[in-house]
Structure 1
Amino acid sequence: MRPHIQPDIQTEHSGAQQRPVVRHRGQAPAMDADRVSEEFPVALVFNGISHAVMMATPCDLEEFAIGFALTEGIVGSVHDIFDIEATMHAASAEVHLTIGQQAFLALKDKRRALAGRTGCGVCGIESLQMLDLTPAPVAQPTPPLALGAVIARAVRELPGHQTLMAATGGVHAAAWCGLDGAIVKVFEDVGRHNALDKLVGYLARQRIDMTRGFVFLSSRASYELARKAARMNIPLLATISAPTSLAIDIAQQAGMMLVSFCRQDGFVEYTGLPSPAGDSTGAATGTTP
């Protein structure tokens, strides 16, 4: 794989733009400037055929495309991606990937016309039959010891890595953490799914064993995030906000640990527990700390 960026305009994208605003504080509105997160349509093109257009922050686009291909099951391994080229335009971007013939034929068989909204999960699939709700079991190593201290460390360290969030207040973060809770790498994006795909793409390119750590997200835990993590054999998914019932079900089926409402003084565990009596959904419940 020979990754490279091919810009067609002299424009640098930091993930944030400065825009004029009027601040209303007290009795005196004042002209000012504010930094807002960038949101671009990014077309993902496989072997010359456009597969998806996602709304994303125009940074780390190669990692995003690789992670998307892996977490969506388009390719089974980073070795199935032979070449990648990202092209920036004035208000959009394209990432062209060359993938193996077997993967491309499978993609054409299940191709979906996906025009992604910000942070979109399953919008654009053509039928309910295409919705993949049956994850394979995660090959789970020994979970971290003293999980409370591990989660507390990740929570404590994350703000120091959220540079775009500090600048704009409007992006999500996906962090890769070691088994001790130390944050190794963070990617940010206007979409939480995009941030996770960028992180997975980075881990795959760096040949990092995704069973030897966990993902910490500055968002809620949705179905799609749990499904992507399970597909990559990630044993633990931790989030700042609440999970959905389907995210819990997916994690339970995969044998993946799901913890949410992560704070320095605690968290809520949602998996490995019996379903509440009379709950037809099979979802576990938790209490916000």
Structure 2
Amino acid sequence: MTVGIEKCSVNKFKHGQLQPLQEDVVAIERPVALIYNGISHVVMMATPKDLNYFAIGFSLTEKIIESVDEIYGIDIIDSEQGIEVHIELSSRRFMQLKEKRRNLTGRSGCGICGTEQLEQVCQFIPPLSLNDKIHLSDFEQSLNYLKEVQTVGGQTGGTHAAVWLDLNGNFIAGFEDVGRHVALDKLLGYRATFLRNQNLKGVILVSSRASYEMVQKTARCGVEILFAVSAATSMAIEQAKQCQLTLVGFFRDTQGVIYSTKERILK
């Protein structure tokens, strides 16, 4: 069976009629703890595949590291309670992480995605360059790539996906997860690991809406263009404008909505 899928027994109904018990498949969702140098940092719900890329991508997008070279090792330990991903950081990065955690201790939380104060949410990101240019006609088949990487989602309907395309619309890599942010982190982790010595120009396409966190993660890794199948939120648009990220929502092959920085899109 495909990694990330498990069987279950269900009763389906159609036109109000209950059908006999039958076997179905669902996407696996498990708690995943990211542990840095022996100290637990966060627990996320995720599909248990490609977790090494998730650990790298999360570390980059949350500014725990600046380069994948600052991670010395990753060990994944499975148990009945969940999965532990042990990440060995460089001494300098670990000291910075401990200092950050110490400064947060005792503060009252605002309840937004694990942050403690509003200024942690609305962080300034330096404006991106305007070097990348694309023709929208090159991306008319891009939605097919989302389907291709969703080996779990194709059987269960339970995952999101994020794919990396070059500036000509060619597929480079893609990942899926029950969580849209986790799928994006996996992709950014792969990009940092395997594409760091290559041309990093390209476009990210996600199967979900574009939240401000998706924009923030994308821009922090230096990606200039983000396509989303669904809508963009108000904060996502505001963040995209601030950091000069080209944000496209409701992307459907031949149509979409450009929310910011249309200068990268050529006629």
What TM-score does the superposition give when structure 1 sets the normalisation length? 0.82
Rounded to whole Å, the distance in 1 between the matches of 2:33 and 2:76 is 10
Provide closer, same or farther for how the CA distance between residues 55 and 84 of structure 1 changes in structure 2, counting only shifts above 3 A.
same
Q: CA deviation at 1:13?
A: 7.8
8 Å Cα contact 2:132/2:202 also seen in 1:
no
Tell me which of 107, 116, 120 is aligned to 2:97.
107
Aligned length: 253
Question: 1:282 — aligned with what?
Answer: none
Q: Say which SS state the counterpart of residue 55 (structure 2) adopts.
A: helix
Q: CA deviation at 1:28?
A: 4.6
Q: Structure 1 stretch 98-107 or stretch 52-61: which is displaced more? A: 98-107
Q: CA deviation at 1:25?
A: 1.9
8 Å Cα contact 1:122/1:224 also seen in 2:
no
Provide closer, same or farther for how the CA distance between residues 55 and 210 of structure 1 changes in structure 2, counting only shifts above 3 A.
farther
Q: CA deviation at 1:33?
A: 1.4
Provide closer, same or farther for how the CA distance between residues 110 and 135 of structure 1 changes in structure 2, counting only shifts above 3 A.
same
Q: Structure 1 stretch 104-113 or stretch 18-27: which is displaced more? A: 104-113
Question: 1:116 — aligned with what?
Answer: none
Provide closer, same or farther for how the CA distance between residues 160 and 130 of structure 1 changes in structure 2, counting only shifts above 3 A.
closer
Question: 1:34 — aligned with what?
Answer: 24
Q: Say which SS state the counterpart of residue 256 (structure 2) adopts.
A: strand
Rounded to whole Å, the distance in 2 between the matches of 1:76 and 1:91 is 31
Question: 1:6 — aligned with what?
Answer: none
8 Å Cα contact 2:146/2:162 also seen in 1:
no
Rounded to whole Å, the distance in 1 between the matches of 2:177 and 2:145 is 18
Q: Is 2:80 the partner of 1:84? A: no
Letter in 1 for 2:132: T
Rounded to whole Å, the distance in 2 between the matches of 1:227 and 1:203 is 16
Letter in 2 for 1:169: G
Question: 2:241 — aligned with what?
Answer: 252
Rounded to whole Å, the distance in 2 between the matches of 1:103 and 1:158 is 34
Tell me which of 198, 204, 209 is aligned to 1:220.
209
Rounded to whole Å, the distance in 1 between the matches of 2:29 and 2:151 is 16
Q: CA deviation at 1:122?
A: 4.4
Question: 2:108 — aligned with what?
Answer: none
Question: 1:285 — aligned with what?
Answer: none
8 Å Cα contact 2:225/2:246 also seen in 1:
yes
Question: 2:184 — aligned with what?
Answer: 196
Aligned residues: CA RMSD: 2.0
Q: Is 2:117 the partner of 1:127? A: yes
Equivalent residue runs for 1:1-289 within 5 Å: 14-26=3-15, 27-111=17-101, 122-144=112-134, 146-147=135-136, 149-208=137-196, 209=198, 211-272=200-261
* Structure 2 unpaired stretches of 5+: 106-110, 263-267
Letter in 2 for 1:38: I
8 Å Cα contact 1:39/1:55 also seen in 2:
yes
8 Å Cα contact 1:210/1:232 also seen in 2:
no
Letter in 2 for 1:266: Q
Rounded to whole Å, the distance in 2 between the matches of 1:198 and 1:140 is 25
Q: CA deviation at 1:272?
A: 2.7
Q: Per-residue displacement from partner, 1:114-165 (whole Å, max 9, x unpaired)?
A: xxxxxxx942212223224211122342311x22x13312123322332111
| Structure 1: 4+ residue segments shifted above 6 A | none
Percent same amino acid at aligned positions?
Answer: 41
Q: Say which SS state the counterpart of residue 127 (structure 2) adopts.
A: coil
Q: Structure 1 stretch 47-56 or stretch 87-96: which is displaced more? A: 87-96
Q: Structure 1 stretch 257-266 or stretch 233-242: which is displaced more? A: 257-266
* Structure 1 unpaired stretches of 5+: 1-11, 114-120, 274-289
Letter in 2 for 1:60: D
8 Å Cα contact 1:39/1:56 also seen in 2:
yes
Letter in 1 for 2:29: E
Q: Say which SS state the counterpart of residue 65 (structure 1) adopts.
A: helix
